Amino acid sequence: MKPTYLDYNATTPTDPRVVEVMRRYSLVDFGNASSLHHSHGSAAKQAIDEARGKVATLLSVQADEILFTSGATESNNLALLGLADQGRRTKRRHILASSIEHSSVLGPLRALGRQGFEVELLPVTSGGYVDPEEIRIRLRSDTLLVSIMHANSETGVLQPVLEMAPIVAGSNSLFHVDAAQTFGKEIQDLQALECDFLSISGHKMLGPKGVGALLVRRRSTKRPPLAPIMYGGGQELGLRPGTLPVPLIAGLGVAAELAIQEHETRERQALAIRCEFLQALSKVEYRINGDQSRTQRHVLNVSFLGVDSEALMLSLKGFMAFSNGAACSSGAQARSHVLAAMGLSGERISTSVRFSWGPGVARVPFDRLIDAVRSLSESAV
């Protein structure tokens, strides 16, 4: 038997219903959505339009405000780097972001810094979130953009983006939210959120890998002044060239549709596992990292003091699959910049692990976890 998968924040399994529609648009209706002179292309175009509508419905926005990308990383890069020309033209070169952003935001911000932009990283509280007043205090007349993630991938702590939005809207700045971890999960919050850009990912919510989207919201009738970062075609509002991956996009649409239909059941199931988790953890010494009043239901970042995280993962390799940090492109693990920004000690960071779960997880071998923690604690004494 495979180990129980508890790394949903890294990626989720693809729902079989999503795979089925992807199969159809790979083997049957496999046309190019730009080839409208025959039925294969028309079927592909219809699939794209339907998926765009489903994603827009989940976010409660207009379908023509959604453009498809390869995932949240590309969406983040487009939202940030695509504003560089606007910043130079208007002499607005100040950017605010949090110190706990994902590398797909911090990387483009470093690139903008090399281009002469002033990037200011906001501190977080010990609970792992940005106080909205930090944004109010630091906004300037030359602030081009505020970029804040909705939920942190390592701790599951939700940032108060709903409180931040009117603060940013009261200025001339633009607001970007990385919602890779909340799209399809925190549905009501995202539908209520007023922001200019929103990045989403398919593979974090039972959809396929390799596809995501960027919400580019209009203010009145005008779109934000975004420029493409790739060239070669007029697809996706002229901002993202290339042949559209119809199977992936159709799969994302189905995943969005299922999220709307099943979100109440998924929330109940996630909360039930969380309660079981906390009950099991009460048998050993542990510390939870992140303000639990702000944390997503399906995530726990825990430190077992005296128990090295790598040793714990190795000892449970055959029973549970979980992580000790955010997944990154190289697969390498480094000291968590998120936990460090929260002011946690080196020991607290080195003993921290993240459990994240979702639909498909029915039973967790808590007894194996507790036995492993106790054994490693005793051997460390």
**Which residues neighbour 118 within 8 Å (Cβ) at sequence distance 6 or greater?**
93, 94, 95
Residue 281 CB coordination number (10 Å): 20
328 catalytic per annotation = yes
Distances (CA, A) of 31 to 45, 69, 212, 254, 277: 9, 19, 20, 19, 47
- 63-66 long-range contacts (CB < 8 A, ≥24 apart) are 64/237, 65/215, 65/216, 65/217, 65/218, 66/213, 66/214, 66/215, 66/216
Catalytic member of 328, 335, 346, 380: 328
Burial of 89 from C-beta contacts in 10 A (0-12 / 13-18 / 19+): exposed
d(CA 44, CA 319): 42
Question: Is the Cβ–Cβ distance between 95 and 86 less than 8 Å?
Answer: no
**Encoded tokens for 334:** 């480094």
Give alpha helix (H) positions in the chain: 16-27, 39-59, 72-81, 84-90, 103-114, 132-138, 161-169, 187-192, 246-281, 309-315, 337-341, 346-350, 366-380
Cβ-contact 82, 236 below 8 angstroms: no
Per the structure block, which two tokens stand in for 71? Answer: 């995932």
Both structure tokens of 217:
């919201």
Q: Any idea how long the chain is? A: 381
Catalytically active residues are 328
